[in-house]
Amino acid sequence: MIASTTSTPSTLLLAAPRGFCAGVDRAVLIVERAIEAYGPPVYVRHEIVHNTHVVERLRDLGAVFVEDETEAPPGAVVVFSAHGSPPEAFANSRRLDHTLIDATCPLVIKVHHEARRYARDEMDIVLIGHEGHQEVVGTMGQAPRSISLVESEEDVDALEFEDEANVAYITQTTLSMDETSGIVERLRQRFPLLHQPKKDDICYATTNRQQAVKSLAQRCDLILVVGSQTSSNSKRLVEVSVERGVPAHLIDDASEIDEAWLEGVDTIGLTSGASAPEDLVERVVAWFQDRGTRTVDTVTVVDEDVEFALPAVLARKLGSEEAHSRSA
């Protein structure tokens, strides 16, 4: 690929799919509709999704973000974030008589079910994930006495179980397939009778976005990923690009673009993490067009058409509100 001698790329390639996945779209909608149905304030346990701009917009609408459900007053409306929460958090909210709306992504709930099932079968569970990530905290809470967390192949080597034929693994949904493959292979070497989920735990949207970055990396000199530093899946997109020899940077929005990155760059790729809204991508596109980028094309890897329903408690509330408005 012949590089430009200017600091303005001639071509901008957009990854598809990118941005909001079905779980994030649902979680954000849940907070918006909860504020609409119950009125502000609506308390949200942890950031509903890991994106600074989304959190600030919802805060402006009347959401109050708390790190612990006990920070919300008795009787409050409380939304639990998309990343999932441990069982004791739900128990605390019930004790405080909260109107509890669970926005946990259905794909994370699947992992929770797996953890509880393996624990009921008295198996030792290995969770592949990042310590301290909110999703990992919620998953480990499903069976804390049965789960061991690993972040690397070296962590696998340190595992010791009494019955090595009775070991299963589960995975944080936002990891990279490339990142986990070596760990899973090491687990299989250590525990030849290793049990695993019938279907891979890594989110379809995470996988699709990583595949799209791999496709961009074949055609680009540089890739920008729109997403916040707190977003695990966004960081993975950067790593996927760098692992393929293409420099990449994570930016919250267009204001964080460093023009020094663009020296000698002719074709630039642009994508966004699963918690980043599309309007932020559009602003980055406009930033390049204002500086003379002439060609903007989309590189489509797969079309996504997944949708998740609203939680029953919120759907019922919205239904009764609509029925009341029609009869008024």
Supply the CATH number for residue 64's domain.
3.40.50.11270
Whether 131 sits among the annotated catalytic residues: the reply is no
Q: Identify the domain boundary among 65, 88, 105.
A: 105
**pLDDT tens sequence across 244-267:** 999 999 999 999 999 999 999 999
Question: How much is the pLDDT for 84?
Answer: 96
End-to-end CA distance of the chain: 66
Helix axes 312-327, 22-38, angle to 10 degrees: 40
**179 and 130 both lie in a single domain:** yes
Nearest C-alpha neighbor of 50 from the set 115, 132, 125, 133: 133
Would you say residue 322 has pLDDT above 60? no
Q: What average pLDDT does this structure show over 262-273?
A: 97
241 domain-assigned? yes
The mean of the pLDDT values for the chain is: 93
**228 and 280 both lie in a single domain:** yes
Percent residues over pLDDT 90 in the chain: 86
Q: What average pLDDT does this structure show over 280-291?
A: 97
Q: What average pLDDT does this structure show over 71-83?
A: 97
Would you say residue 109 has pLDDT above 60? yes
**Hey, what amino acid is at 28?**
V
Would you say residue 291 has pLDDT above 90? yes
Helix/strand/coil for 80: strand
Strand partners, 250: 225
* Banded model confidence at residue 19, pLDDT cuts 50, 70, 90: very high
Q: What is the DSSP letter of 311?
A: P
* Banded model confidence at residue 114, pLDDT cuts 50, 70, 90: very high
Note whether 166 and 124 are within 8 A (CB): yes
* Banded model confidence at residue 319, pLDDT cuts 50, 70, 90: confident
Beta strand pairing call for 124-128 and 295-300: unpaired
**Number of compact structural domains in the chain:** 3
Q: Which of 47, 69, 114, 135 is catalytic?
A: 135
Would you say residue 296 has pLDDT above 90? yes
**pLDDT tens sequence across 157-188:** 999 999 999 999 999 998 877 789 999 999 99
> In the sheet where 99-102 sits, what is the strand order?
63-66, 42-45, 77-80, 99-102
313 domain-assigned? no
Look at the block and give the residue holding tokens 């946990």. 104
Would you say residue 3 has pLDDT above 50? no
Structural domain boundaries, residue 238:
11-21+203-300
Would you say residue 61 has pLDDT above 50? yes
**209 and 290 both lie in a single domain:** yes
Instruction: Indicate which CATH number applies to the domain containing 173.
Output: 3.40.1010.20
198 domain-assigned? no
246 domain-assigned? yes
Q: What average pLDDT does this structure show over 104-126?
A: 97
> In the sheet where 267-272 sits, what is the strand order?
248-251, 222-226, 267-272, 11-16, 295-300
Question: How much is the pLDDT for 202?
Answer: 87
Which range among 38-47, 133-142, 193-202, 291-300 shows the weakest confidence by mean pLDDT? 193-202
**148 and 83 both lie in a single domain:** no
